[in-house]
Amino acid sequence: MMIMKRFYTNIYTVLAAAILASSCEVTDVTDVDPVYQVSEDKVITNIDQAQTVLYGVYGSLTDGLDYIVYMPAMTSMMGTTMQPGTWGGTSENAFYINDVNPDDYYLESMYSRMYFLINNANHVISKTSALHTDDPRKEEIIAEARFLRAQSHFYLLRLWGEFFDPDSGYGIVLKEEPISNADPQPRAGVAEVYSLILEDLDYAIAHAPAFTNTFYVSGIAAKALKSKVLLYKKDYAAAATLAEEVISSGERRLEDPYADIFIKKIENTEEVIFQTPFDNLNNRNNKAFMLRSYFGLSDEYVALMETDARHDAAIAVTETGSIRNNKFNGATYGGEPLTADTEYFIRLGEVYLIYAEAALRATKDPEASRSALNAIRERSNNPLVTTGDYNELLGAIRVEKILELGAESGEEWFDLVRYHKEGDIDIDDYKELSSETRLILPLPIQTVELSENIVKQNPGY
């Protein structure tokens, strides 16, 4: 637990240090007020200070519920694995029926948190880049910050931008420098957004540290995320190549049995590539409570899992018959009921499925794709897939991602959108949408209005 103590000691000291680099916190979302208006030129004058502020950027992932609860729960409800819980109300239901208003609290909270992290990452990148030092840690710090910036830009793009259309002008507002004024900035096109994300990840692949633990960015994490970004960008051959490199590197391996992913959580993990830490004794991030009361498992997901060997690892039934998300809620840690929990940003099981889909779409050859799919099926003690039919195999991969990753981070929602846009399925067969515009969320109303419409709202909202 020495790593955990070091992490939290650094996080708590760092948040104060990061605030010293700021003059005000954003009340809108991107440009109305600076998140960290850097007015002190000497905030980062050496590597130790750069490291300290970088810890603060990591702390943005665990500060609040946006990355660890709202983002995964809302996207899971937009998909097919979660639904409003017993305490869920109008706002939760809006995501479930894919009809969210631009003034929704969750919408603004997630959106602003991602830009909050990006701005702090930009502070680290710009100030550390200016340091005159031969310390090799300089490039590593910049690489970790650029990965964190890329991840948040990617999350913003797939929720609020037309990520499925590289020619679309409805990307997101890109931030490459710390915010120093309140001048509004227009949205970039989707192609430009992908370009910056991939540039950041290429830098992280080249310069990030080797993998040491799951709480910090590593070169293997950057490769894994890039393979996922390339899958969304429809660069299938490149996505497959990179995913295969991650799998064959031997740096991570599949947990066996499957349930160990969620039993181990953050200790002695073998499969997780990047995740958030937590201290169950002192940290109360409320994830267990929120996933019990506000966000529950969908009836469809529970029924789908009924015949799958992963059922007991994923779903718990209380003595009173209540259904719980056993990956997070209703579980224990160190023999005690969980008060906090992690968010698995990416794990090796997903990389296998990225490879399975990307390889199939790139080559139309089922053999390698089926082998990767069956590695996941075999690990979970489920019957192997035997079909060689392209469409059947593609469909099996999509369903496997629900069985493997369901009720974790909403990946099945983005799969529905991608498969729909590729012409593989009709999304209305799975989620009834009032309009094609509901494939993405509306921008928060303050972002549009306070920019005097320089930041354009998404069509249909």
Domain ranges, residue 158: 2-260+346-433
Q: Tell me, yes or no, whether 324 lies in a domain.
A: no
For 443-455, what is each residue's pLDDT tens digit? 999 999 999 989 9
Rounded distance between C-alpha atoms, residue 136 and residue 117, angstroms:
24
More confident residue, 42 or 415: 415
For 70-97, what is each residue's pLDDT tens digit? 999 999 999 999 999 999 999 999 999 9
pLDDT score for 3? 40
- Give the CATH number of the domain where residue 236 resides: 1.25.40.390
Rounded distance between C-alpha atoms, residue 390 and residue 397, angstroms:
11
pLDDT score for 388? 97
Contact status, residue 255 vs residue 270, Cβ threshold 8 Å: yes
pLDDT score for 26? 32
Helix axes 219-233, 236-248, angle to 10 degrees: 150
Mean pLDDT throughout 158-176?
98
pLDDT score for 100? 98
Q: Tell me, yes or no, whether 327 lies in a domain.
A: no
pLDDT score for 319? 87
The answer to which of 11-25, 53-67, 82-96 has the lowest mean pLDDT is: 11-25
For 410-430, what is each residue's pLDDT tens digit? 999 999 999 999 999 999 999
For 243-262, what is each residue's pLDDT tens digit? 999 999 999 999 999 999 99
Q: How confident is the model at residue 283 (pLDDT cuts 50, 70, 90)?
A: confident
For 363-397, what is each residue's pLDDT tens digit? 999 999 999 999 999 999 999 999 999 999 999 99
pLDDT score for 79? 98
Mean pLDDT throughout 30-50?
57
Q: How many domains does the chain have?
A: 1
Q: How confident is the model at residue 14 (pLDDT cuts 50, 70, 90)?
A: very low
Q: Tell me, yes or no, whether 110 lies in a domain.
A: yes
| Predicted TM-score (pTM) of this structure | 0.91
- pLDDT tops 90 at residue 337: no
Could you give the C-alpha distances from 427 to 143, 416, 417, 441, in angstroms and in order? 37, 6, 7, 16
- What percent of the chain has pLDDT above 90? 84
Mean pLDDT throughout 151-166?
98
- pLDDT tops 70 at residue 15: no
Q: Tell me, yes or no, whether 428 lies in a domain.
A: yes
Mean pLDDT throughout 267-286?
91
Contact status, residue 416 vs residue 410, Cβ threshold 8 Å: no
pLDDT score for 326? 94
- What percent of the chain has pLDDT above 70? 91
The answer to which of 20-24, 332-336, 447-451 has the lowest mean pLDDT is: 20-24
pLDDT score for 333? 79
φ and ψ at 367, to 5 degrees?
-65, -55
Q: Tell me, yes or no, whether 26 lies in a domain.
A: yes
Rounded distance between C-alpha atoms, residue 222 and residue 150, angstroms:
9
User: In the block, which residue shows the tokens 């020495």?
Assistant: 2
Q: Tell me, yes or no, whether 190 lies in a domain.
A: yes
More confident residue, 284 or 27: 284
What's the mean per-residue pLDDT of the chain? 90
Q: Show Cβ contacts of residue 247 under 8 Å, excluding neighbours closer than 6 positions.
A: 348, 351, 352, 355, 372
For 213-247, what is each residue's pLDDT tens digit? 999 999 999 999 999 999 999 999 999 999 999 99
Residue type, 75: T
Mean pLDDT throughout 316-332?
88
- pLDDT tops 50 at residue 116: yes
The Cα angle at residue 273 between residues 269 and 278, in degrees rounded to 5:
65
Mean pLDDT throughout 47-68?
95
- pLDDT tops 70 at residue 7: no
Q: Tell me, yes or no, whether 318 lies in a domain.
A: no
- pLDDT tops 90 at residue 329: no
Mean pLDDT throughout 173-192?
92
Task: Write the burial class of residue 136 (CB in 10 Å: 0-12 exposed, 13-18 middle, 19+ buried).
Answer: exposed
pLDDT score for 331? 73
pLDDT score for 1? 38
More confident residue, 336 or 208: 208
Q: Tell me, yes or no, whether 24 lies in a domain.
A: yes
pLDDT score for 43? 74
User: In the block, which residue shows the tokens 């224990």?
Assistant: 332
